[in-house]
Amino acid sequence: MTDIVISNTYFYKLDPKQWKNKTPYPPLGTIYAASFLRESGYKIKLFDTNLLDNPLKIKTYLETQQPKIFVLYDDGFNYLTKMCLTKMREAIFEMIKIAKRLKCFVIVCSSDSTDHYEKYLNIGANIIIQGEGEITLKELVDSIKIKNDFSKIQGIVFKKGEEIIKTPKRAVLRDLDELPLPAWDLIDIEAYRILWESHGNEFTLNIATTRGCPYKCNWCAKPIYGNRYNSHSPKYIMQHIKHLKETYNVSRFWMCDDIFGLKPNWVNQFNQELKKEKLKISYYIQSRVDLLLVENTIDALYESGLEEVWVGAESGSQKILDAMDKGTTVDQIYEATRLLKEKKIRVAFFIQFGYLGETKKDIFDTIKMIKELLPENLGISVSYPLPGTKFYEKVKDDLKLKANWTDSDDLSMMFKGTFNSKYYKKLYQYTHKEYQKSKGIAIFKKVFKTPFLITKYQLRLMMFFGYYLITAFFSKIQLDNMEHTNA
């Protein structure tokens, strides 16, 4: 009999935008927790929801495994879980109901349950873990095993009769190297590999080198790992990479940290470890433009195999960056992009429209920046109020009709901004068309200089140039009309 079934809380197939990419990552945070419990002697089984289309399949699995404890454990390294999408919440609620009918003790650790623990307790969950969960989860399981009182365990919420008890917050783990490597053997790696490769993508696995983020962007929530920043050593990450290369023949990685390489000299040490072990990898990261400009950082990233960096550009308006407490400048975005491109490292931008106080000028400053810098990729969203942030406190009175997106392609304005949802959805389309149009112009210029070096991708963009030229023109007219009517 299995002691514990642990499951993640995200269904890619319920999020059409993400499923369309066919590049899902295994639930890293979940298998860290599974590994930690297994090292303590518990028999663990994993129910991986990532590639499933509905939560009802948990019933047969639990009937087969007959666990006493069912744990729903967020992959806190997957930024999509911070958004608390309603489709995912509904699926999780269904899993909780099924587990309770099968007499399981249900523990939940997730961003959404941290923010809305009452909803989860009312649906039947026994315990909600708040914040970083491995140590808390082990203490809970130990306590349940010996039928001990768990009210003295830090970092949990539970019901005692009709009263909700919330214990003191647990401090985050500072020495991350104490954690065993994640339980990758519990994942059906081949199912992920087949999905990636069948759609022409090089198979990639996810690694986290850090937890937390010390920056104070006032729209960004950190419900699991908090504002502290703790890092694995380069040697630990090298061990992790070697394990994945040797066991699963993987050489490409998504470093899924909120910010990669923040600790002084960490990137240089990582580069030296790779050289020492004679390991050749490629990887991509998220970072900040100010950090990328620290001396030798880009050189070390390039030497160690970095192929792409996603930066939180957010806006081409310094006014908006300052309002967000972003702590970066538009000039830094331009300079970091220039230096990365010199090293042939791809640059991708996260862009955020709709922040409080945004004007038409701010919007078109952002579009101008995109067209001038031409990142390799764009991730465009509208400002999303996450509980626990200063931004949320400013707009929470507007969230009566809708407080969460249905899926990650929702793009709804949930508070009263300068323009409404229809305007921003049209702006999303227009920005992409202007971006593609500008890329087409750049390619025409390049092909004119070196006509015999044209690629299939460049040829395709040139073929669609007329489409983007015309549709961008008409989208702009529609935007202007919406602006005047705010329709």
Chain position carrying tokens 């081409």: 316
Per-residue pLDDT averaged across 378-398, rounded? Answer: 94
The enclosing H or E element of 231 equals strand 230-231
Q: Is the CA virtual torsion 75, 80, 83, 84 positive or negative?
A: negative
Per-residue pLDDT averaged across 480-484, rounded? Answer: 86
For the record, the structure tokens of 225 come out as 């790992």
Looking at 382-450, list the stretches that DSSP marks H as alpha helix, in order from N- to C-terminal side.
390-395, 421-449
Rounded to an integer, what distance in angstroms lies between the CA atom of residue 86 and that of residue 284? 29
Q: Is the pLDDT of residue 134 over 50?
A: yes
Q: Who's near 330: CB < 8 A, 6+ residues apart?
A: 315, 316, 317, 318, 321, 369
Q: Provide the pLDDT for residue 487.
A: 47
**For residue 60, what are the CA distances in angstroms to 13, 95, 192, 365?**
20, 12, 22, 54
Rounded to an integer, what distance in angstroms lies between the CA atom of residue 149 and that of residue 32? 26
DSSP secondary structure of 86-140: HHHHHHHHHHHHHHHHTT-EEEEE-HHHHH-HHHHHHHT-SEEE-SS-HHHHHHH
Per-residue pLDDT averaged across 457-483, rounded? Answer: 90
Report pTM. Answer: 0.94
Question: 36-77 pLDDT, tens per residue?
Answer: 999 999 999 999 999 999 999 999 999 999 999 999 999 999
Q: What is the mean pLDDT of the chain?
A: 94
Question: 335-354 pLDDT, tens per residue?
Answer: 999 999 999 999 999 999 99
Q: Is 401 exposed, middle or buried (0-12, 13-18, 19+ CB in 10 A)?
A: exposed
Q: Provide the pLDDT for residue 16.
A: 95
Q: Provide the pLDDT for residue 486.
A: 61
Question: 416-443 pLDDT, tens per residue?
Answer: 999 999 999 999 999 999 999 999 999 8
Share of the chain above pLDDT 90, in %: 85
Per-residue pLDDT averaged across 120-126, rounded? Answer: 97
Per-residue pLDDT averaged across 382-392, rounded? Answer: 93
Rounded to an integer, what distance in angstroms lies between the CA atom of residue 10 and that of residue 49? 6
Q: Provide the pLDDT for residue 390.
A: 94
Share of the chain above pLDDT 70, in %: 99
Residue 262: band (very low, low, confident or very high) from pLDDT cuts 50, 70, 90:
confident
User: Comparing 224-228, 290-294, 324-328, which segment has the lowest mean pLDDT?
Assistant: 224-228
Question: 149-189 pLDDT, tens per residue?
Answer: 888 999 999 999 999 999 999 999 999 999 999 999 999 99
Q: Provide the pLDDT for residue 485.
A: 66
Rounded to an integer, what distance in angstroms lies between the CA atom of residue 415 and that of residue 373? 31
Q: Is the CA virtual torsion 22, 23, 29, 33 positive or negative?
A: positive
**In this predicted model, which residue has the larger pLDDT, 457 or 305?**
305
User: Percentages helix, strand, coil for the chain, rounded to the nearest 5?
Assistant: 50, 15, 35
DSSP secondary structure of 288-304: -HHHHTSTTHHHHHHHH
Question: 286-299 pLDDT, tens per residue?
Answer: 999 999 999 889 99
Question: 404-423 pLDDT, tens per residue?
Answer: 999 999 999 999 999 999 99
Q: Who's near 396: CB < 8 A, 6+ residues apart?
A: 385
Q: Who's near 26: CB < 8 A, 6+ residues apart?
A: 48, 50, 184, 187, 189, 192, 205, 206
